[in-house]
Amino acid sequence: MSGAPQQTLGALLARLEVRERRIAVEAEAAHEQIMQLTALLDGLTQAAEHIAITRKTLLELTDEAPLAPAEPAAALPDGPAYQQIMAVFAERAQCRRSGACPTVSPVGRLSMGEWGCRMDRRDRGPQAVSRKG
């Protein structure tokens, strides 16, 4: 008779172990769900805060007095020196846009500032020229 109660106790312990493992798996799944729902809740809370801030900002802007119209910009000079300066800027901008004037030499021996740009009057295209020679 001593064998039967031990088998029953062993079987009971085995069933308890199986149940304990199932509960642990369910607890882990529930923990994972809680983590996902917490992340979702945090995101929704942050979105609601952003909307509240936006609403507050918009309401504050509507309460403010309208801004005075901006003053017109001062008239630009129209003299020959100004026109020459603007022409130089235009040439430089066209040269840079075309990529003909690298800021650093492709060879790597020339430092910045040793490349220039000139307009060839024959074909009217910008050309990179070395100032060293």
88 DSSP β-pair partners: none
Cα dihedral sign, 9-11-13-15: negative
For residues 85 and 62, membership in a common domain is answered with no
Instruction: Write down which residue in 66, 88, 113 finishes a domain.
Output: 66
For residues 60 and 89, membership in a common domain is answered with no
How do strand 115-120 and strand 125-130 relate by DSSP bridges? antiparallel
Is 118 among the domain residues?
A: yes
User: 45: domain range?
Assistant: 1-66
- Looking at residue 112, its pLDDT comes to 44
Q: Which of 104, 84, 93 is nearest to 126 (CA)?
A: 93
Instruction: Write down which residue in 66, 88, 115 finishes a domain.
Output: 66
Is 86 among the domain residues?
A: yes
Give φ, ψ of 82 to 5 degrees: -65, -45
Is 95 among the domain residues?
A: yes
Rg (the chain; Cα; Å): 39
Backbone dihedral region for residue 124 (phi beyond 0: left; psi -120 to 50: alpha; all else: beta): left
What is the tally of structural domains in the chain? 2
> Could you state, in chain order, the average pLDDT of each consecutive group of 10 residues for the chain (133 residues)?
68 95 98 98 98 94 76 81 87 73 49 48 52 51
